[in-house]
Chains A and B, each alone.
Chain A
Amino acid sequence: MLTKEQLESYWRENRNLMLLVLFIWAIVSYGAALISGLLNKIVIFGFPLGYYMGAQGSLIVFLLLIIFYAKSMDNIDKKYGVEEE
């Protein structure tokens, strides 16, 4: 059994991680869309960056975010001893 403080601290770490993940999630989708006109001036291998972010770039970041969150939560679970067998 964990103490009340430990439970709260576990949840706080989880919440901060969640906020970080959603912050990046918002930046690569909405943030990039808002300035996509500017980003389109940068062209890499024929891809205007603003269009690319909406078509593929943000999607790849989404996947990395989920993996990052799952891995970090694994570590937090272990730290507090609440991981499943």
Chain B
Amino acid sequence: MVDKGFVERLRKVYAIYTGGLILLLILLYIGEKLFNLSPVFIGYVFLFGTIAVYATIGIISRTGKVAEYYVAGRRVPAIFNGMATAADWMSAASFIGMAGALALQGYNGLAFIMGWTGGYVLLGVLIAPYLRKFGAYTIPDFLDARYGGKIPRLVGIVATIIVSFTYLTAQITGVGIIVSRLLGLPFEVGVFLGLAGILVCSFLGGMKAVTWTQVAQYIVLILAYLIPVTALSFKYTGNPISQISYGFALQGIEQKFAQLKDDPKEIEVREIHKKKAEELKAKIEALPASWEQGKKALEEKLKAMPAEDPKRAEIEKQLKEYPKSPQEAKEKWTEAMKKEQEASKPPKSYVAPPSDAKGMANFLALTLMLMLGTAGLPHVIMRFYTTPTVREARTSAGWALFFILLLYITAPAYAAFGRYEMLNLVGKAFSELPDWVQKWAKVNLISIKDLNGDGIVQFAEISIHPDMIVLATPEIAGLPYVIAGFVAAGGLAAALSTADGLLITISNAISHDLYYKIINPNLSPSTRVKIGKALLLVVALIGAYVASFRLAIIVELVAWAFSLAGASLFPALVLGIWDKRMNKQGAVAGIIVGLGVTMIYLYLSRFQGVELFGIKPIAAGIFGMPLNFIVALIVSRLTPPPPQQVQEFVDHIRYPKGAVKAGEEE
């Protein structure tokens, strides 16, 4: 049942909230102009202001009821579930990183744009309505009911935890970076401040609190994303609708590229990069001797310097950053070499697809795995358990995609403007670079070095970090600092909302699926919720602890999560709904083969340099996923059909109402 009065009240509350947010922006703007408020002060207002709002919602939504704690009482209307799902789904990477990746990679970056949205078609059509009809709390619940027994549930638990935990660590890292940048604090302090922000949303009210804070976070993040790019579009073209105005930038980029291709100065700089790459290659080949030589050279240089030499600090810094072992040196130098090699090539067309078959194969495989992974990610699927009806679950997938699209169809505009602005730097004298370049160069998000010493910027001399594109847009558009601070608050909202969704998914997998369903089924409802809350705290602390190391591998692991989810959970869910004949043996065999093959290819391609058909590690699931389907189908046909009650269960989830007996709704 959809409660009309409830929807009305929600609309009113969030309309007032949005109005308040805009009022805060205006007040801060006036404060900045009239009273010269400092950026750090504005940063504190945004950080504590937004977190205070989320905390208030979290406290109002506190609950001890099982159904509210796990699935928000199943009364979240489609449109609000859409917003919550969008916030849950869009992480710090979508908000800050994606437009930048698109700007740097051109057409290849579109795999992320299509992949992270196309998955919702699969969710809305193949999975979400049926899981909602089933009406349990988690994915392992479904696997248990559909395939019978503890093994499918355990497989579901393991997959959920692996996929969600790597993702969680990345979000906490994102929170730490944003908080530390906004307030100028050390990264570790940022992580633990951010952790407090995450916990206030989820600890007291579980899924209920997470849902209503996610809606509030969505509103912050979408406003923060749209304002700067709208202003920039207006500045360039007089048309504020960036999503349709960036065509001119695409044309500008293509023309400039054509000019730069054969420019003699550019070729000169490319040659310098080429030489650097060759030097690095020689160093890598001479390992481990070259590592020791390099270290000794630095140490001797330091020894030879008098104690008061101001250059000492620089050498000390170099020595501190020097690889700790030959193994680390190999990793670091190989990465640097690849970067130099990349910079030594002439720029590629921004809009042209990969020209070779291998490049195209990887593009298609990556797009497919991102889509299937999206449809198989536990924290996204969980959100569809919270709608009041099956019909609302279907509509909700549409709303979720609508709210996601507001950001995703804007990202290409950000990217094109960013790239266009970068190309505008080319040909300028180093002395006349705009202020924003200096500012972001200080935090290493952009670097322009006069490699050939002619005093003029060449394209091959610019190197930028993907995060730069979104973060620097407010300044490029000439907006006040308030907006730059608001963008950081938007990034924070994106990371917090995703972290909360993940946190609750992991703690539910342990407290509900593992502890309550397998270890001790005699728990009272209130104890179950208490255990859930305790675990939430533990998982959050472990996540923050792991995040505080800032392991480079985390970013890669997140990308792999899509391949792993797409090759393990996705087939088991789809077959469980659409193939009545599918049984336990088939599903378990499929998951094991799918997951196993994907992990083996990941290992071989990432660490052993193996490459089949041009497929990169990030799209590794493209081999395991179809094998999962094939093995599951073959094994299920060779073993007995599932028992009568399971076949009835499949009928039960296939029809929105009646037809068969009710499920295990609590």
Contacts and interface: CB of A to CB of B under 8 A. Distances in A.
B351 A66 contact: no
B621 interface: no
A37 B354 CA distance: 9
B656 interface: yes
A1 B394 contact: no
Interface stretch (B34-42, B112-120, B322-330): B112-120
A69 B364 contact: no
Nearest to B411: A55
B118 A33 contact: no
A66 B125 contact: yes
A59 B251 contact: no
B363 A63 contact: no
A44 B251 CA distance: 11
Interface of B: 1, 107, 110, 113-114, 117-118, 120-122, 124-126, 129, 243-244, 246-251, 350-353, 355, 360, 363-364, 367-368, 371, 389-391, 394-395, 397-398, 401-402, 405, 408-409, 412, 578, 651, 654-659
Nearest to B658: A82
B3 to A, nearest CB: 13
Contacts of B121: 21-22, 25, 62, 65-66
B401 A63 contact: yes
A30 B367 contact: yes
A63 B398 contact: yes
A14 B408 CA distance: 29
A59 B405 contact: yes
List the 6 closest pairs (A to B, CB-CB), nearest first.
A46-B247, A54-B110, A51-B351, A55-B412, A70-B394, A66-B398
Given A51-B110, A62-B121, A66-B124, A40 B352 contact: yes
A44 B351 CA distance: 14
Interface in A1-59: 1-2, 7, 10-11, 14-15, 18, 21-22, 25, 29-30, 33-34, 36-37, 40, 44-48, 50-51, 54-56, 58-59
Contact of B113 (A22, A25, A55, A73): A55
Given A7-B655, A73-B394, A84-B391, A51 B250 contact: yes
A74 B364 CA distance: 33
9 contacts: A21-B121, A33-B364, A36-B107, A48-B351, A51-B350, A66-B121, A70-B391, A82-B658, A84-B657
Given A21-B121, A46-B248, A59 B114 contact: yes
B247 A69 contact: no
B409 A77 contact: no
Contact of B657 (A11, A44, A82): A82
A44 B556 CA distance: 37
Given A37-B355, A47-B247, A77-B391, 8 more contacts: A30-B364, A33-B114, A33-B353, A40-B352, A51-B110, A59-B408, A66-B120, A82-B659
B351 A40 contact: yes
A2 B244 CA distance: 50
Contact of A29 (B118, B129, B249): B118
Nearest to A54: B110
Nearest to A11: B654
Given A66-B398, A82-B659, A34 B117 contact: no
A73 B398 CA distance: 13
A29 B367 contact: yes
A85 B391 CA distance: 10
A73 B360 CA distance: 35
Given A18-B126, A82-B656, A56 B250 contact: no
A74 B118 contact: no
Contacts of A36: 107, 353
Nearest to A50: B353
A43 to B, nearest CB: 8
Contact of B243 (A11, A46, A56): A56
A37 B107 CA distance: 11
